[in-house]
Amino acid sequence: MTHLLILLVIGAVIGVTAERITDRTMPYGWLGSITAGLLGAWLMTDALHIAIAPQLMVADIPLLSAILGAMVVVFAWSMVTRNGGFGYRHARTH
């Protein structure tokens, strides 16, 4: 249970960081940020097996790779949705 809570916190931090860097937001607030963070971490480390060495790891999640993956997820989401569809909005508007 503690490991799940740690993963959710790390996913939220990674997702919010990726949103700030790309100047975009995911829909549904924190839930969207956590989803982007965890999906980005999975994308870079497990699906694509991209390793950037050396990097800081927290709970076996490489932070730099996870942030880069989350940036891809946030940017891809913003490209798929059009004109604010599905809750997408520019990060500077709120």
The torsion defined by the Cα of 4, 78, 23 and 26, in degrees rounded to 10, comes to: -30
For range 5-9, the mean pLDDT: 87
- Residue pair 26/53 in contact (Cβ under 8 Å)? The answer is no
pLDDT band at 75 (very low <50, low <70, confident <90, very high): confident
Quote the CA–CA distance of 86 and 82 in Å, as a whole number: 9
Residue 4 is predicted with a pLDDT of 85
pTM of the predicted structure, to 2 decimals: 0.77
Hey, where are the domains in the chain? 2-82
Mean pLDDT taken over the chain? 81
Quote the CA–CA distance of 51 and 31 in Å, as a whole number: 26
